[in-house]
């Protein structure tokens, strides 16, 4: 172990700073528990900060996520590590010892003032991962508008080492030689909030393996719909035209045994309906069609949301989409089999198609690393006490929150986080008796 | 100095939406006229009718209320605010103040384009009203 | 101990001396704005004692500048003109605190994101604007009161209303955290609806075992006081200090009411089964039409025998399950409920409960023909989809009926089967089908229990679906509009057991946060009443949406009793709706007073900072506030 390894002691280690990890951290810290929160990306916020608006309230996602992110960043009881990887967590004598690697941003964080001058000076353009490849960013850049922390990250692989950024930085904080830092955390309990990823867009050969420019992932559409999106509006990536006919293919990665995703991903019906509503708001003359098997609008207020979309003129067609191809103008062509009017298979052309991809876990125990908890058959973390103690994992003292235990929407992920925080608190009360205070 | 820059437009912003929204415009280095003065409030529902009328009387050229609309965290505040704006419009008419000098709108934390559009429109309204 | 919590101190009598600090932000500001000129312009303000510009105000030497001026130059108000307050408001407040100054005597003026970065081409204009904005900040801060967090003493005890899985789960979690709990259950036993379930999806555990498991935990906790056969009949007080009256009707007449002091209240009163209307799909007209919960009870009692499935003493060889009965209703298609509205929501649990039941029928009575009539199959949850697949594989036939045309049932007299279900099936292109059946099972949805009397005690928020309503459906799913009153389980909307327990544990954590310390600290930005100005007109009351935040009360003032508005800072959210209608300006939100906003406008308009009036030390206003009880009893 390097002499410079930082040592920290905390009540709870939370892994993943999506909305579930953020909420779990706050629910612990607000009780006076000390928390170390580790996020592998350069900013906290997870998928939620990437969304345009959220169903069923159509609140602006950024507006409701940033205050939570700020509360976490400013909380006296939370130590936040971004751009950091948990290399492993070992349990010994009732405590958890985690080793964390903090990857270099190549800037001195304590001096950076977030002014973006480096970003302006940099001449290297890269694909912007926050916009899912639709926009561009610089080789040194703050990941996105509301990123927390507001520090740029230098992409060492693509940096030309020209020094343009270092020249303009008013605080001389760019450090091309920065090394990874090691941190060791000794915690009384662990919460895993590692979240989800979309099912891969290139998984299905029948749907073109992600090779058609006007067949989008739903997160790409979220970015197009966001007021701070890459094109400043909804346009076709192939030619910048405003689409007048947009289609959604439901269950494009879920309820499909051939993809190893037999389960329902729970949010795709609702996000498709939401996006359809937002599209009909921003492109009033566009036709929007949703090809589906069942519309699963099961949450509070969701059925009403679905009915509103129907009343607004969004067309819901019960049909199976067998294949997607495109014509020479990159117009996607769907081969569909209608279930409601059996005229046999037919081909329909749309300007833009969104594949309603499902959810798979972002971290699977089978990948190793992190911690030795078990997965269930669906790949998500196993919940041995699913009914009465939903936050438990297969290891005592390790709890799960949010989409780490299966697809979930935001409200369910947030509720989950509270339960995980409660379970962790009570586990600490049982295992780590604290000095007498108002409450243990 | 262009006539726009000589104006004094008051922009009432809310803590949770439009104030951070104005920051987003700045982070993107989008440009607008310095004849604009952003005032931060927890919620514009707290400002009485007189605040607007007095401000016009003092020499403020235009007021844009950038509310949080349906994202407003306070119960019933937005409906109250829009009713109040309605009464202010009525009183502006009575006093012969061009009503296009007051605008109630909703701006979120990332509404960059809408933010700039509101300012542009307000400048045009004021200059038109002044010309008339 | 009773202590009145004020957010304004008596005036110190010191002259108001403001320190102004203009940040260059390493060129980010000073490349566009002439920061020296701004500092110089502000030095002319009659209240400004020190006006400086500096390279990086947020750096340690920058903060030291402020701290030194507070200590050596007797600065007692601070204005920093720099980047956005979202970045460093807390940094500077802490600096004030370190120097012994109240951290709220500070104003932040954003001249980076909202000036230098957006007026790059107009240095002069940007500089002029910065002067006006900083002057406005000075005018605001000279009218600023010292503010202190509001402290509310708390009872480390929670009342949980409802002893189903949600209520029990919340109680166990709270007791585990060291809090006392009174668990109030109306019925004669704990367990709620889960006690009625045989096997539960998707784990196939027994409902009775789950209830027993929780009951054992509840009873094993010395901190939980279970009150069966009881209801809540009084709910006074506010977050931290509720006074809850629990009535046990079976107790001796003079011993029925029991007063419990609690810091928070969790409501977990659960749901009722929707009761179909007379004639709805044949319900009430034929014994062959039953609800899902009744069918589940019958199935449980039906012995496995060669006689096959028997319900109400009659054979059921062919069974049709109809989904969405009492849920997803459509205006014009379905008859309205008692309140004139249809149940337009989805009941979330009935699809999986139906398919789970179908699987039980299929595995125990493989010869029974099963038909499933639905609009959509919503087996969304973990492990739910398997029931759908397995039911289909085992031969259940699925038909999809159109929203506007729910299936109908007609009993037959003397036919082979008890009757016929008629439905249109979208899956076979809208064909009308007649299905001979012995039994029709209606997948009835959830409706909230009748808890009108509880709701009335505190005007609890109820949604259009008649379930209890949370403050924010995404971000604050278990809190109500009344601080300290929390929701758990199906009283809030349809949920299954794990969802109800998750919600309950989240409600528990919210209560634990409130009650973790002997006092709750709340933000000081709440309404305050100036006793000298309030004329008791009561207009403000009509504007306040938050029950209990604002009241009219008789207070002693200068030997006389006068009627005044009184704020309960524990319940006020500080929106200021009241302030806007108070003509004498007696009520204001602390830190955001209307006088401050007026003065800011004056400063923005002023052509000469030096000509602005000197503001004397704040006159001695007397603030009236609710006495917030602190500490024990
Ligand atoms: C297109 C789309 C639209 C949606 N729209 C809505 C909507 O409108 N309303 C709604 O309610 N829901 C919506 N959702 C669902 C919503 O996004 C999720 O419910 C929510 O983001 C889940 O939050 P989470 O914290 O569980 O996971 P995530 O957001 O995935 O966060 C997990 C975090 O953990 C980090 N992480 C993962 N592994 C590690 C590791 N090993 N070490 C450190 N950090 C790690 C990740 O980087 C990430 O930041 C939508 C989903 C999609 C795909
Ligand atoms: C047909 C059917 C089958 C189901 N099957 C399953 C399944 O297999 N798996 C699954 O996970 N879920 C299932 N569910 C859902 C499950 O029943 C609920 O999730 C669960 O009952 C919710 O628990 P609760 O504590 O919120 O409410 P309840 O179970 O309704 O309990 C509420 C309690 O509060 C008490 N109460 C009510 N009013 C008052 C008052 N004013 N004062 C004091 N006490 C009061 C009641 O007496 C009751 O004990 C099913 C639901 C239905 C309708
Ligand atoms: S130029 Fe320097 S101070 Fe500014 S954001 Fe980049 S690294 Fe930070
Ligand atoms: S869960 Fe299924 S049966 Fe129940 S209301 Fe929703 S769609 Fe209808």
- Tell me the pLDDT of chain A (440 aa) as tens digits: 445 799 999 999 999 999 999 999 999 999 999 999 999 999 999 999 999 999 998 888 887 898 899 899 989 999 999 999 999 999 999 999 999 999 999 999 999 988 899 999 999 999 999 999 999 999 999 999 889 999 999 999 999 999 999 999 999 999 999 999 999 999 999 999 999 999 999 888 899 888 899 999 999 999 999 988 898 899 999 999 999 999 999 999 888 888 889 999 999 999 999 999 999 989 999 999 999 999 999 999 999 999 999 999 999 999 999 999 999 999 999 999 988 766 778 999 999 999 999 999 999 999 988 999 999 999 999 999 999 999 999 999 999 999 999 999 999 999 999 999 999 999 999 998 664 444 54
d(CA B33, CA B62): 13
pLDDT band at C7 (very low <50, low <70, confident <90, very high): very low
Q: Do B108 and A63 touch (CB under 8 A)?
A: yes
d(CA C568, CA C561): 20
Say yes or no: ipTM exceeds 0.95.
yes
Ordered domains of chain C (ranges, CATH): 1-147+606-633 (3.40.50), 157-270+449-519 (3.50.50.60), 275-447 (3.50.50.60), 526-590 (3.30.70.20)
Residues 6+ apart with CB under 8 A from C504: C165, C166, C167, C169, C170, C173, C266, C268, C488, C489
Residues 6+ apart with CB under 8 A from B21: B13, B66, B107, B108, B109, B110, B111, B112, B115
What sign does the CA torsion over C382, C384, C387, C388 have? negative
Ligand 2 atom showing the smallest separation from residue C296 Cα: 1
- Looking at chain C, which subunits does it touch, using at least 3 CB pairs closer than 8 Å as the criterion? A, B
Cβ contacts of A64 on chain B, cutoff 8 Å: 71
**Right CATH number for B9-127 from 1.10.3470, 3.30.1450, 2.40.30, 3.40.50?**
3.40.50
Task: Tell me if the bond preceding C191 is cis, omega within 30° of 0.
Answer: no
Given this model, what pLDDT does residue A439 score? Answer: 52
- Looking at chain A, which subunits does it touch, using at least 3 CB pairs closer than 8 Å as the criterion? B, C
Q: With beta carbons less than 8 A apart as the criterion, state whether B64 and B125 touch.
A: no
Residue C11 has pLDDT above 90, yes or no: no
Given this model, what pLDDT does residue C131 score? Answer: 97
Partnered with residue C554 across adjacent β-strands are C563
> Rounded to the nearest whole angstrom, what is the distance from the C-alpha of residue A404 to the centroid of ligand 1?
9
For chain A, the residue count is: 440
Ordered domains of chain A (ranges, CATH): 1-102+180-195+362-440 (3.50.50.60), 104-176 (3.30.70), 199-358 (3.50.50.60)
Domain limits of chain B? 9-127
Q: With beta carbons less than 8 A apart as the criterion, state whether A185 and A14 touch.
A: no
What sign does the CA torsion over A50, A55, A60, A61 have? negative
Please give the average per-residue pLDDT across C278-307, as a whole number: 91
- Cβ(C139) to ligand 2 under 6 A? no
Partnered with residue C179 across adjacent β-strands are none
Which protein residue's CA is at the shortest distance from atom 6 of ligand 4? Answer: C346
Which protein residue's CA is at the shortest distance from atom 2 of ligand 4? Answer: C351
Given this model, what pLDDT does residue C6 score? Answer: 41
A437 versus C524: the higher-pLDDT residue is C524
d(CA C120, CA B25): 13
B45 to chain A, minimum CA–CA distance in Å?
19
CB atoms within 10 A of CB A210: 15
Percent of chain C with pLDDT over 90: 74
Q: With beta carbons less than 8 A apart as the criterion, state whether C283 and C298 touch.
A: no
C630 versus A440: the higher-pLDDT residue is A440
C125 to chain B, minimum CA–CA distance in Å?
6
Tell me the CA distances in angstroms from A29 to A75, A389, C485, one per residue in order.
8, 21, 21
Ligand nearest to the CA of A141: 3
Rounded to the nearest 10 degrees, how much is the dihedral formed by the CA atoms of C586, C590, C596, C597? Answer: -90
A361 to chain C, minimum CA–CA distance in Å?
13
- Cβ(A115) to ligand 3 under 6 A? yes
Given this model, what pLDDT does residue C205 score? Answer: 97
d(CA B18, CA B38): 10
A427 to chain C, minimum CA–CA distance in Å?
9
pLDDT band at B17 (very low <50, low <70, confident <90, very high): confident
Please give the average per-residue pLDDT across C458-463, as a whole number: 87
d(CA C550, CA C571): 8
Residues 6+ apart with CB under 8 A from A229: A52, A131, A134, A135, A223
> Rounded to the nearest whole angstrom, what is the distance from the C-alpha of residue A341 to the centroid of ligand 4?
24
Ligand 3 atom showing the smallest separation from residue A142 Cα: 5
Least confident of A262-266, B26-30, C63-67: B26-30
Residue B131: is it exposed, middle or buried by C-beta count within 10 angstroms (0-12/13-18/19+)? exposed
> Rounded to the nearest whole angstrom, what is the distance from the C-alpha of residue A117 to the centroid of ligand 3?
6
Nearest to C84 by CA among C59, C117, C125: C117
pLDDT band at C106 (very low <50, low <70, confident <90, very high): very high
Q: Do B71 and A116 touch (CB under 8 A)?
A: no
A63 versus C344: the higher-pLDDT residue is C344
Nearest to C507 by CA among A375, A434, A407, A419: A419
Smallest CA–CA distance from C481 into chain B, residue: B75
Interface test with B, best of A60, A66, A71, A118 (most B CBs within 10 A): A60
Nearest to A176 by CA among A148, A154, A198: A154
How many residue pairs bridge chain B and chain C with CB atoms within 8 Å of each other? Answer: 126
Nearest to C145 by CA among C629, C499, C593: C593
B29 to chain A, minimum CA–CA distance in Å?
10
Given this model, what pLDDT does residue C12 score? Answer: 54
d(CA A253, CA C386): 17
Helices and strands in chain A, H and E counts: 8, 22
Q: Could you give the 3-state DSSP secondary structure of residue A175?
A: coil
A5 contact B CB<8A: no
Of A27, A115, A405, the CB nearest to C25: A115
Smallest CA–CA distance from B7 into chain C, residue: C605
Given this model, what pLDDT does residue C443 score? Answer: 98
Which protein residue's CA is at the shortest distance from atom 7 of ligand 3? Answer: A112
Given this model, what pLDDT does residue B72 score? Answer: 81
pLDDT band at C538 (very low <50, low <70, confident <90, very high): very high
Interface test with C, best of A166, A250, A383, A418 (most C CBs within 10 A): A418
Q: With beta carbons less than 8 A apart as the criterion, state whether A168 and A121 touch.
A: yes
Given this model, what pLDDT does residue C632 score? Answer: 31
Nearest to C524 by CA among C168, C104, C154: C104
Task: Tell me if the bond preceding A261 is cis, omega within 30° of 0.
Answer: no
Ligand 4 atom showing the smallest separation from residue C350 Cα: 4
Task: Tell me if the bond preceding A149 is cis, omega within 30° of 0.
Answer: yes
C121 contact B CB<8A: yes
Ligand nearest to the CA of C87: 3
Nearest to A410 by CA among A225, A222, A200, A234: A222
d(CA B35, CA B39): 13
Q: Do B112 and A227 touch (CB under 8 A)?
A: yes
Probe ligand 4: pick from C292, C323, C353, C384, max atoms within 8 Å of CB? Answer: C323
> Rounded to the nearest whole angstrom, what is the distance from the C-alpha of residue A95 to the centroid of ligand 2?
37
Q: Do B70 and A58 touch (CB under 8 A)?
A: yes
H-helix or E-strand spanning residue A365 = none
C145-204 pLDDT, tens digit each: 888 888 888 999 999 999 999 999 999 999 999 999 999 999 999 999 999 999 999 999
Probe ligand 3: pick from A108, A116, A147, A150, max atoms within 8 Å of CB? Answer: A116
Smallest CA–CA distance from B69 into chain A, residue: A59
């Amino acid at each position: 172990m390097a002499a410079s390894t930082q040592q920290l002691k905390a009540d709870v280690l939370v892994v993943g700073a999506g909305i579930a990890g953020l909420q779990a951290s706050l629910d612990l810290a607000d009780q006076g528990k000390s928390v170390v929160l580790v996020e592998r990306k350069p900013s906290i916020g997870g998928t939620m900060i990437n969304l345009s608006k959220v169903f069923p309230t159509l609140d602006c996602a950024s507006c409701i996520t940033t205050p939570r992110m700020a509360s976490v960043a400013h909380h006296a009881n939370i130590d936040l590590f971004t751009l950091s990887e948990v290399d492993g967590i070992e349990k010994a004598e009732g405590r958890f010892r985690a080793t964390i690697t903090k990857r270099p941003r190549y800037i001195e964080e304590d001096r950076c003032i977030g002014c973006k001058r480096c970003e302006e000076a940099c001449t290297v353009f890269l694909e912007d991962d926050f916009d899912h490849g639709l926009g561009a960013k610089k080789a040194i850049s703050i990941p996105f508008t509301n990123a927390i922390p507001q520090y740029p990250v230098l992409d060492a692989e693509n940096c030309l080492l020209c020094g343009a950024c270092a020249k303009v930085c008013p605080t001389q904080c760019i450090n091309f030689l920065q090394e990874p830092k090691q941190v060791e955390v000794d915690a009384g309990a662990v919460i895993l909030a590692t979240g989800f990823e979309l099912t891969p867009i290139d998984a299905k050969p029948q749907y073109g393996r992600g090779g058609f420019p006007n067949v989008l992932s739903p997160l790409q559409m979220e970015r197009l719909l966001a007021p701070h999106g890459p094109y400043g509006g909804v346009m076709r990536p192939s030619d910048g035209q405003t689409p007048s006919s947009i289609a959604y293919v439901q269950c494009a990665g879920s309820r499909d045994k051939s993809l190893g995703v037999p389960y329902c991903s729970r949010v795709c019906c609702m996000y498709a309906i939401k996006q359809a509503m937002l599209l009909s708001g921003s492109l009033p003359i566009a036709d929007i069609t949703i090809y589906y098997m069942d519309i699963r609008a099961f949450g509070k207020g969701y059925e009403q949301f679905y009915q509103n979309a129907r009343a607004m003129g969004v067309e819901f067609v019960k049909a199976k989409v067998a294949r997607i191809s495109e014509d020479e103008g990159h117009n996607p062509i769907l081969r569909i089999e209608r279930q409601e009017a059996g005229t046999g298979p037919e081909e329909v052309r749309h300007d833009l198609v969104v594949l309603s991809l499902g959810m798979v876990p972002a971290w699977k125990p089978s990948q190793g690393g992190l911690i030795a908890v078990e997965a269930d058959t669906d790949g998500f973390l196993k919940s041995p006490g699913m009914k009465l103690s939903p936050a438990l994992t297969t290891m005592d003292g390790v709890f799960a929150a949010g989409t780490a235990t299966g697809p979930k929407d935001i409200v369910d992920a947030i509720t989950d986080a509270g339960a995980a925080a409660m379970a962790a608190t009570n586990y600490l009360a049982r295992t780590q008796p604290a000095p007498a205070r108002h409450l243990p | 100095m262009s006539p726009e820059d000589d104006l004094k437009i008051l922009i009432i912003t809310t803590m949770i939406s439009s104030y951070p929204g104005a920051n987003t415009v700045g982070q993107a280095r989008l440009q607008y006229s310095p004849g604009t003065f952003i005032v931060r409030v927890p919620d514009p529902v707290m400002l009485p009718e007189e605040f607007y009328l007095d401000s016009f009387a003092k020499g403020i050229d235009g007021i844009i209320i950038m509310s949080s609309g349906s994202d407003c965290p306070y119960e019933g505040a937005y409906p109250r605010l829009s009713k109040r704006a309605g009464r202010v419009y009525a009183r502006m008419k009575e006093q012969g103040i061009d009503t296009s000098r007051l605008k109630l709108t909703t701006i979120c934390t990332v509404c960059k384009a809408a933010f700039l559009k509101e300012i542009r429109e307000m400048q045009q309204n004021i200059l038109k009203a002044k010309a008339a | 101990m009773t202590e009145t919590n004020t957010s304004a101190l008596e005036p110190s009598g010191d002259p108001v001396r403001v320190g102004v600090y203009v940040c260059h932000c390493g060129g980010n500001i000073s490349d566009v704005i002439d920061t020296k000129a701004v500092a110089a312009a502000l030095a002319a303000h009659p209240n400004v004692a020190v006006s400086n510009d500096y390279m990086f105000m947020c750096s340690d030497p920058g903060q030291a500048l402020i701290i030194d001026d507070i200590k050596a130059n007797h600065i007692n108000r601070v204005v920093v003109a720099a980047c956005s307050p979202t970045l460093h408001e807390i940094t500077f407040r802490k600096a004030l605190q370190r120097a012994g100054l109240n951290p709220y005597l500070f104003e932040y003026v954003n001249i980076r994101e909202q000036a230098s970065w957006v007026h790059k081409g107009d240095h002069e204009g940007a500089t002029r604007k910065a002067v006006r904005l900083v002057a406005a900040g000075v005018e605001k801060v000279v009218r600023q009161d010292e503010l202190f967090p509001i402290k509310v003493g708390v009872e480390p005890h929670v009342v949980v209303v409802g002893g189903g899985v949600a209520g029990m789960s919340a109680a166990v979690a709270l007791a585990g955290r060291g809090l006392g709990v009174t668990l109030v259950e109306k019925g004669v036993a704990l367990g709620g609806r889960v006690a009625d379930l045989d096997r539960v999806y998707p784990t196939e555990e027994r409902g009775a075992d789950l209830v027993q498991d929780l009951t054992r935990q509840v009873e094993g906790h010395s901190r939980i006081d279970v009150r069966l056969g009881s209801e809540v009949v009084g709910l006074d007080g506010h977050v931290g200090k509720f006074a809850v009256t629990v009535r046990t009707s079976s107790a001796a007449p003079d011993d029925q009411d029991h007063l419990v002091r609690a810091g928070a209240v969790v409501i977990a009163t659960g749901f009722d089964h929707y009761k179909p209307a007379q004639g709805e799909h044949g319900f009430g007209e034929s014994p062959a039409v039953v609800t899902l919960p009744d069918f589940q009870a019958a199935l449980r009692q039906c012995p496995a025998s060669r006689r096959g499935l028997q319900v109400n003493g009659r054979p059921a060889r062919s069974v049709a399950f109809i989904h969405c009965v009492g849920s997803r209703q459509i205006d014009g298609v379905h008859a309205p409920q008692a309140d004139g509205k249809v149940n337009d929501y989805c009941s979330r649990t009935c699809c999986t409960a139906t398919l789970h039941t179908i699987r039980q029928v299929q595995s125990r009575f493989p010869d029974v023909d099963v038909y499933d009539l639905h609009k959509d199959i919503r087996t969304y949850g973990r492990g739910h989809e398997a029931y759908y697949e397995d039911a289909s594989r085992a031969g259940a036939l699925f038909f999809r009926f159109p929203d506007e045309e729910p299936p109908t049932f007609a009993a037959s007299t003397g036919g082979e089967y008890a009757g016929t279900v008629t439905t249109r099936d979208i899956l076979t292109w809208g064909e009308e089908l007649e299905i001979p059946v012995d039994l029709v099972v209606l997948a009835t949805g959830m409706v909230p229990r009748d808890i009108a009397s509880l709701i009335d005690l505190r005007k609890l928020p109820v949604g259009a679906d008649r379930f209890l309503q949370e403050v924010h459906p995404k971000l604050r799913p278990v809190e109500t509009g009344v601080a300290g009153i929390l929701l758990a389980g199906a009283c809030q909307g349809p949920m299954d057991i794990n969802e109800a327990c998750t919600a309950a544990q989240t409600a528990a954590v919210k209560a634990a946060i409130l009650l973790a310390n002997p006092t709750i600290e709340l933000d000081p930005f709440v309404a305050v009443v100036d006793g000298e100005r309030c004329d008791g007109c009561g207009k403000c009351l009509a504007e306040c949406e938050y029950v209990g935040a604002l009241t009219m009360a008789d207070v002693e003032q200068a030997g006389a009793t006068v009627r005044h508005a009184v704020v309960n800072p524990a319940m006020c959210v500080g929106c200021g709706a009241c302030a806007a209608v108070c003509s004498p300006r007696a009520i204001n939100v602390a830190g955001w007073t209307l006088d401050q906003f007026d003065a800011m406008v004056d400063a923005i308009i002023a052509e000469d900072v030096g000509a602005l009036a000197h503001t004397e030390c704040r006159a001695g206003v007397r603030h009236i506030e609710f006495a917030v009880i602190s500490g024990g009893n």
